[in-house]
Amino acid sequence: MYTGTHVTHGAQGTKALAASLAASLAPGTVVLFTGGMGAGKTTFCTGLAQGLGCTDEASSPTFSIANVYRGPQPLAHFDLYRITSPEDLETAGLFDYIAQGAIVAVEWSELAEGWFDGERVVHVDIQPGEHEDERIITIEGAGL
């Protein structure tokens, strides 16, 4: 149901798609995001957190590198924009969160080609649509 291309309108539509996707994710799944600045990656993560029942408010981890949202199914939200190696991810605890069964969301995953081989992965690409509030969201992966 979730694999394929979806069109959303406004932040609420993007969050709703993400919240419904959240129910299909197995513990330890890595959600790899691609899309330009302002595409809606953090908005999608907000919806994931809501769908997973997280009690913390989701926000961009650009400056903190990682945010963790508590709930029945925790979500660890990483931004790789300033990460340069898999060792940096190890230091930030990303692989520990996977091992603990958290859902791990990774923004700017195109900067980490091959770093998640062997993990249960879902790819989410977010692109602007024809209208300002429209997003074209492509979801695919073995983690579904």
For the whole model, what pTM was predicted? 0.91
Which range of residues forms the domain containing residue 66? 4-140
Q: 3-state DSSP call for residue 125?
A: strand
Predicted confidence at residue 30, as pLDDT, reads 95
Q: For the chain, what is the domain count?
A: 1
H or E element in which residue 97 lies:
helix 94-99
Check if the beta carbon of residue 44 is closer than 8 Å to that of residue 9.
Answer: no
CA distance 76 to 25: 14
pLDDT tens for each residue of 65-94:
788 999 999 999 988 887 888 888 888 888
Confidence of residue 61 (pLDDT cuts 50, 70, 90): low
CATH number for the domain spanning 52: value is 3.40.50.300
Beta bridge partners of 30: 104, 121
Check if the beta carbon of residue 120 is closer than 8 Å to that of residue 27.
Answer: no
Q: Give the strand pairing for 121-128 and 30-34.
A: parallel
Predicted confidence at residue 64, as pLDDT, reads 67
Predicted confidence at residue 31, as pLDDT, reads 96
